[in-house]
Amino acid sequence: LAYGMARQGLLPARLGRIHPRRHTPHVAIAALMIVVLVLALSGDLTALAQATSALLLAVFIVINGALLILKKRPGEPPGQFEVPSFVPAVGIVVCLLILLHVKTRALAIAGILLLVIVLLYALMRPKALTEDQLAEIAED
């Protein structure tokens, strides 16, 4: 994921480097290993796992909300696979109900992680990609 984001300009370009012999994104792997070690050694793994689940639920809520918006947008061409509007609506409700059962500490950790991610993105926001860069990304 970090490798792909680096290739799209969403993360520092160094994370997109490929090892010349092994053909793996070695810098991205090492960087993520450091982040995971810091988080794992920071304390309660249960709270960290719950925070991760809360962040994933937030992603599902956003995706379902985006689907509802796309379905209602005028002039949007129909897709090859159409989902009834109640499906993403139910998805949002279910995710919110699950989030009600997440412990406050885990929600706080998730909030802090999300804030850090948003701040990092704001600092490293990519410039507009050229058509050549977009074509290269599409090929990958």
So what's the pLDDT on residue 116?
85
Average pLDDT value for residue range 23-50:
85
- For the segment 80-117, what is each residue's pLDDT rounded down to a tens digit? 778 888 999 999 999 999 999 999 989 998 999 889 87
Q: Which amino acid is at 66?
A: A
CB atoms within 10 A of CB 62: 12
So what's the pLDDT on residue 94?
97
* Average pLDDT in the chain: 84
Instruction: Using a pLDDT cut of 70, give the percent of the chain over it.
Output: 91
Q: Which amino acid is at 29?
A: I
Top mean-pLDDT range of 44-53, 59-68, 111-120, 121-130 = 59-68
Instruction: Using a pLDDT cut of 90, give the percent of the chain over it.
Output: 29
- Among the listed residues 139, 104, 110, the one whose alpha carbon sits nearest the alpha carbon of residue 48: 110
The span from the CA of 43 to the CA of 38, in Å, is 9
So what's the pLDDT on residue 15?
81
